């Protein structure tokens, strides 16, 4: 059977002994796309800044639309914008023209993606958007295209070469579109003063969201807390620390924290064999131990543990000892 490309067996046979060439192909793609992305800086105009400020001032949504590969990139751009403080979603241009145009409100700004700037499904949206007064941001690789000429702002993502061995499949051009979308999102984050806490609110299920939104009191241990008085003897202190999973014991007086004794303190005290069994908690403890409030975030607890190079923290509430949080409670 005659085909336009190799069969799987033929391709495998051809690849045998050609691993260097295969790697070279990958490296060439990396270099090509990196070069094209770097060139985007020279293509920036005032339209980027003006479009960004327009989005920032808008009381509506940012609707992203594109066809084919541009549409796939548009989906990711919309998701990035939505998760970084800019209300946004992707609208398929084909579906839009068959009833979904109703989701576009007059205050919305529409970001249209087409490398050629001549994609029919995308161009069909222009008359409706113009009639409604929606501002249009075009992302194309052709400043002279129909889409670019009818947009309020044009973001140029022109590439010299795709990187595809045939220079046909969208590769560098879609990467350039994606990076331009990231640039928009990053600029808007900076203008909004968007911080890690804001990001966490949009990502409560992620590890960052958990550490920022979860409080210490939500995960701290409160059962069988290792405590002793100032007068406690070394034998009892050693027994409690040995049985405890925390590796420490908290010295308290009327609920207030006087100090902490760790298993390391016990080992060091054992070097003084002559006086070891005469030590009391008041002589062994470290004064002013590291503590954290019960309502602090897990991120604060993590930072404090990392800075102090410790694995456990004493938790306080209104100055009183209420629990212990350990590094694995944070999920690291």
pLDDT confidence bin for 1, thresholds 50/70/90: very low
Contacts of 245 (CB under 8 A, 6+ apart): none
Contacts of 320 (CB under 8 A, 6+ apart): 255, 256, 257
Instruction: Reply yes or no on whether the pLDDT at 2 is more than 50.
Output: no
Give CA–CA dist 262/247, Å, rounded.
6
Class of domain 216-329: alpha beta
E strand or H helix at 53: helix 46-57
Return the pLDDT at 19.
Answer: 60
Contacts of 63 (CB under 8 A, 6+ apart): 78, 88, 89, 90, 91, 103, 104, 108, 109, 110, 111
Is-same-fold flag (19-194; 216-329)?
no
**pLDDT tens sequence across 160-203:** 998 887 777 889 999 999 999 999 999 998 888 866 665 555 55
Q: pTM score > 0.85 for this model? A: no
Task: Report yes or no: 218 and 113 within 8 Å, Cβ to Cβ.
Answer: no
**pLDDT tens sequence across 228-276:** 999 999 999 999 988 888 889 999 988 789 999 988 888 888 888 888 8
**pLDDT tens sequence across 195-205:** 666 555 555 55
Instruction: Reply yes or no on whether the pLDDT at 3 is more than 60.
Output: no
Mean pLDDT of the chain: 87
Return the pLDDT at 299.
Answer: 81
**pLDDT tens sequence across 208-217:** 555 566 788 9
Give CA–CA dist 200/219, Å, rounded.
18
What are the beta bridge partners of residue 45? none
* 73 or 204, which is more confident: 73
Best CATH choice for the domain 19-194 from the list 3.40.50.10490, 3.40.228.10, 3.10.20.740, 1.10.150.530 = 3.40.50.10490
Task: Report yes or no: 281 and 231 within 8 Å, Cβ to Cβ.
Answer: yes
Give CA–CA dist 317/169, Å, rounded.
61
Measured in whole angstroms, how far is the alpha carbon of residue 159 from the centre of its chain? 28
Two tokens, residue 83: 């998760």
Measured in whole angstroms, how far is the alpha carbon of residue 29 from the centre of its chain? 26
Domain ranges of the chain: 19-194, 216-329
Could you tell me what percent of the chain has a pLDDT over 70? 87
Instruction: Reply yes or no on whether the pLDDT at 105 is more than 50.
Output: yes
Give CA–CA dist 70/5, Å, rounded.
27
Give CA–CA dist 269/271, Å, rounded.
5
Instruction: Reply yes or no on whether the pLDDT at 99 is more than 70.
Output: yes
């Amino acid at each position: 059977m005659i085909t336009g490309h190799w069969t799987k067996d033929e391709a495998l046979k051809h690849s045998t002994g050609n691993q260097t060439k295969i790697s070279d192909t990958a490296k060439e793609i990396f270099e090509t796309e990196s070069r094209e992305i770097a060139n985007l800086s020279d293509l920036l105009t005032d339209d980027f800044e003006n479009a960004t400020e327009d989005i920032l001032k808008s009381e509506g949504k940012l609707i992203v639309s594109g066809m084919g590969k541009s549409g796939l990139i548009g989906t990711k751009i919309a998701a990035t914008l939505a998760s970084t403080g800019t209300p946004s979603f992707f609208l398929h241009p084909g579906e839009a023209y068959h009833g979904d145009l109703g989701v576009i409100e007059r205050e919305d700004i529409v970001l249209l993606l087409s490398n050629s700037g001549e994609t029919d499904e995308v161009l069909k949206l222009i008359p409706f958007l113009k009639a409604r007064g929606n501002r249009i941001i075009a992302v194309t690789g052709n400043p002279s295209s129909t889409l670019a000429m009818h947009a309020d702002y044009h973001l140029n993502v022109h590439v010299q070469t795709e990187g595809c061995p045939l220079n046909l499949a969208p590769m560098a051009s879609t990467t350039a579109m994606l990076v331009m979308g990231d640039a928009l999102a990053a600029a808007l984050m900076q203008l909004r003063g968007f911080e890690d806490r804001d990001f966490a609110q949009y990502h409560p299920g992620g590890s960052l969201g958990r550490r920022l939104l979860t409080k210490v009191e939500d995960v701290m241990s409160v059962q069988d807390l290792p405590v002793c008085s100032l007068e406690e003897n070394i034998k009892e202190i050693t027994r409690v620390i040995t049985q405890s999973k925390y590796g420490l014991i908290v010295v308290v007086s009327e609920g207030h924290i006087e100090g902490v004794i760790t298993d390391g303190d016990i080992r060091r005290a054992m070097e003084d064999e002559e006086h070891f069994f005469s030590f009391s908690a008041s002589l062994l403890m470290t004064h002013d131990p590291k503590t954290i409030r019960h309502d602090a975030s897990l991120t604060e607890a993590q930072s404090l543990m990392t800075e102090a190079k410790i694995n456990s923290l004493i938790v306080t509430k209104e100055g009183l000892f209420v629990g212990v949080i350990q590094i694995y409670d944070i999920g690291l």
